[in-house]
Amino acid sequence: MPDMDTALKEIMEIDGCIGVALVDHTSGMALGTLGGGKELDLTVAAAGNTDVVRAKLRAMEMLNLSEKIEDILITLDTQYHMIRPLTSRSGKGLFLYVALRRDRANLAMSRHRLRSIENDLDV
């Protein structure tokens, strides 16, 4: 089972990946980041996307939906932003945030690869 650093490196190998963060959605703090740079401030993105996750969880609660969120996709003109809450016991309260260049990424393959890495991740 890969540790956090190894998993982040594997995610960065996804074609078109700009940056990745492992985020605690209770605090909004990034536990680990890789990539980003001038194109994307991952610390700010981690905090901002925490609000997205919280809002979705509140909406699901109000709707009495008991299903789990597989991922949240935000499509921009030039990028895809994926939020994937971790489902393992050790990952409870954490999510992966991944930004991809839309002109280089294959969304279906990216989601498949991210799911595979998440399933093997040991936090």
Tokens matching residue 48: 């901002």
Averaged pLDDT, 79-106: 89
The 10s digit of each residue's pLDDT in 35-67 is 998 879 999 999 999 999 999 989 999 999 989
pLDDT in the model for residue 118? 87
Measured between alpha carbons, how far is 92 from 76 in angstroms, rounded to an integer?
28
- CATH number, span 4-120: 3.30.450.30
Task: Give the torsion sign (CA, 113, 5, 48, 27).
Answer: positive
Residue with tokens 């399933």: 119
Contact 95, 85 (CB under 8 A): yes
Q: What is the pLDDT of residue 91?
A: 62
